[in-house]
Each structure stands twice: as C-alpha cells, then as structure tokens.
Structure 1
Amino acid sequence: MPYSSEHKNETRERILRSARHLFNRKGFVAVTVGEVMKESGLTHGGFYNHFRSKEELYAEAIMQFGRNDPPEHWQTLGFDGTAEGERLARLIVDAYLSREHLDDRDGSCPMVGLPSDVARGGSKLKSAFQQVLEMMVGVFEAGMPHDKVPTRERAICMVALCVGGMVLARAVEDESLADELRNTVRKRANTQFSPTPEARTN
C-alpha cells in the first residue's frame, strides 16, 4: 500500500532535521547519506525517494531552519506568538545570543554552524543560506525605529553582530569569555532599538 503524501512529507521533514543536526555537528563533508538516514531511523535506500543529492539535502536543511518548523528549544525562549516589529526583533536577539543557543550545537542556526561549508559549496547552498540571511535581516529591519540612519543598514549590522558574536563565543574555551562575548554583543545590538529596560544577561 503506497504511503500517503502526509506521511511522505513527515518523513522528509524528519530526514531534514536529522541532516541539519548532523551537518552542524560534523560539517558537510564528514556526514554521509547513510548516517543521515540512520539518524532518521530509515534505510539508506529510501534517501533518493526524497532528495537527488547530498547537496540538495544540505540546502533544504538550511531552509527548514528558516521556516522555523519545528523550532529548536533555544528559538522558543521568551516566545510570543503575537510579537511583531521591534518586540519580535528584541526577542530574536535575546534567543540568538542565549546560553541555550551557544550550547545547542546540533540545533544551531546554520549561519553560525555552517558558513565555511557554504562558502565552499555551490550556488544551491549559497542561495539557501542567503534566503535565511535575508529573512533575519528583514525581521530586524521591521523592528528598527525610523530615523536618519537607514533601517536596512542597521539590520545588516545587527545580523553581523549576532552571528559573529556567537561564532566567536563558540570558538573560545573559556566559558566566562564566551558569556562576556554574548552579553556584550547583546547589549550593543539592543542599543539599535528604542530605549527599554536592560535585556537578559544569561
């Protein structure tokens, strides 16, 4: 009996999530299709029912993160389904630069875990990566107060701060320095918004 389209979609999403976690953990080159399918609880032979190549899988895994479906635990911190504009942008900054995101290497944002692999990859990977980047820029831009400084320019700086801060925090062994990096970047990023009480510092 053939599987329903719903079952096929659920299986495909499970493969993508397993692949994204493995790519974050080990990098594109080190991960095999067999490992991805084993992690998904499936047989190797079923892979090509869903994807043409490992590169296509990689690009789709990046896009799954962009859809936020399902979200990683750190993405749900302070979640408010009604938030928009500046409040939504602030919540994203806090979650992105959280200790929970720092510690969740498998569920990391691909812009933190995968940029070197993407830089060496083909156009499909770069296109998927760019779409996630533009999505993040768009959310920050929508949350910027309108004054003399262009909102897109500040939004791009915000993305660079968040991603760069987390990359550096991941790269150091000293946990206190890693926390200092995250909290300093969070403090600086929040200066781009309207004045409010201090953001979280953990």
Structure 2
Amino acid sequence: MPWGPEQKQQSRERILNSAAKLFTQHGFDHVGINEVMADAGMTRGAFYAHFSSKAELYAESIATAAKAAHLKAIEALGSDASLQRVVKGYLSEEHRSGAQINCPLALLITDIGQRDDKVREAYTRVFKGFVNLIAQGGDADADEAHRQALQKAVLMVGGMAISRAINDEELAATLLDVCRNGVLDGQEA
C-alpha cells in the first residue's frame, strides 16, 4: 500500500532535519546521502522519492537549519527577543560549540560560495531574513536601519564563523565579546 501525502511529508521532514543537522556540523563535502538517510532512519532508495540530488537537499536543508535555529532561539529567549538578547545568544559559547544553535549562516559560510545558484539563493534568503530580524528594532529611517542591520549581521555571522575556525579558546572568547560589544554599541549590554 503506498504512503499517503501526510506520511510522505513526515518522511521528507525527517530527511531535511537530518540533513540540516549533519550539513551544519560537517559541511556539504563531508556528508553523504547514506549518512543523511541513516540518521533519518530510512534507506538510501527512499531519498530519491523526495529529492533529485544532494545539492537540492542541501539547498532545502539550509532553510530547515535556519528555521530550527530560529525556533531554538525563540525557545531560549521566551517573550524577550530584544536585539540585546538575540546578540548575546547568537554570539555565545553555546552557539560556538554547537550545543545551542546550529545556524547555517555562520557554519556554512565558506562552503556556500562553492555551490550552485539554487544553494546560494537559499542561503541568501536565510541571510535576508536574519537581517530583517535585526532591523526590526531599529530607530533610524528604513534605509539607514537596513544598512545598520546589514552591518550588525555581518559582524555577528563573521564573528561566529571566525570564532569557530580558530583553536585558541581565549582569543575566541575575546572575539565573541568584541563582536557583541560592536553590535550593541550605544545600547546597554
């Protein structure tokens, strides 16, 4: 008996959740379809009922990873999603270690530029959403608020990416602190 649409959607979501987790931990080149499907508790053959290629899965998993990171952040922040709390959560040791959030913006930053347009479009949508989230608390006019939000997003994503790349724990902690202060400059920390 064939699966119904609801079961097929649930299977697709399991695959996407596994891919999002594995790609943000290991990157595109170090994760195969077999690993994704094993993590999802499914066979490799089931993969092709949902996706035509690993690249298609990667593109869709970027949005899934961003959504999961956003939901974890909302859960951690509760009703206080102020810029200060968002910044402190994003630029935290928990995020750096992967214990709290697996944001694809910082974790896949060097990998995305090597991928096809579909993958880069997915990353761009996630980045624009992140910038818009940051801009919501802006006091300036719309254009200036957007420019300030871009600047803050780059500082946050870049700071997190570099802190994860270096192996000097003290320097990484200082880097995260400097980035938090840079983003929150002029606001009470």
1:172 equivalent to 2:166? Answer yes
Task: Please name the residue that 1:25 is paired with.
Answer: 25
Deviates more, 1:116-125 or 1:148-157: 148-157
Verify the 8 A CA contact 2:59 2:119 in the aligned structure 1.
Answer: yes
Number of aligned pairs? 189
Percent of pairs identical after alignment? 34
1:91 equivalent in structure 2 = 85
Are the counterparts in 2 of residues 66 and 135 from structure 1 also a CA contact under 8 Å? no
Three-state SS of the structure 1 residue aligned to 2:123 is: helix
User: In the TM superposition, what whole-angstrom CA distance separates every residue of 1:43-89 from its partner, at most 9, and x where no partner exists?
Assistant: 110001111110010000001123348834x6632232xx56xx2x3
Report the CA distance between 1:186 and its aligned residue.
Answer: 0.7
The answer to whether the 8 Å contact 2:24/2:65 transfers is no
Listed as ranges, the matches of 1:42-53 within 5 Å are 42-53=42-53
Alignment of 1:79 onto 2:78: yes
How many angstroms apart in 1 are the aligned matches of 2:110 and 2:22?
15
Aligned CA distance change for structure 1 residues 184 and 190 (closer, same or farther; 3 Å): same
Residue-by-residue CA offset, 1:90-111 (whole Å, 9 max, x unaligned): 3321221111111117952111
Aligned to 1:140, what secondary structure does the other structure show? helix
How far did 1:14 drift?
Answer: 1.4
Distance apart, 1:5 and its partner CA: 2.3
What is the CA-CA distance between 1:116 and the residue it aligns to?
A: 2.0
Give the distance between the partners of 2:64 and 2:145, measured in 1 at CA: 27
TM-score (norm 2): 0.89
Q: Which runs of 5+ in 1 are unaligned?
A: none
| Coordinate RMSD, CA, aligned | 2.3
1:157 to partner: Cα distance: 0.4
AA aligned opposite 1:60 = E
Kept in 2, the 8 Å contact 1:33–1:44? The answer is yes
Map Cα deviations across residues 147-183 of structure 1 (whole Å, 9 max, x no partner).
Answer: 6981111000011000111111112212122111111
| Contact map agreement 2:105 2:127 (CA 8 A) in 1 | yes
CA–CA distance in structure 2, aligned partners of residues 30 and 181 of structure 1: 27
| Aligned equivalent of 1:64 | 64
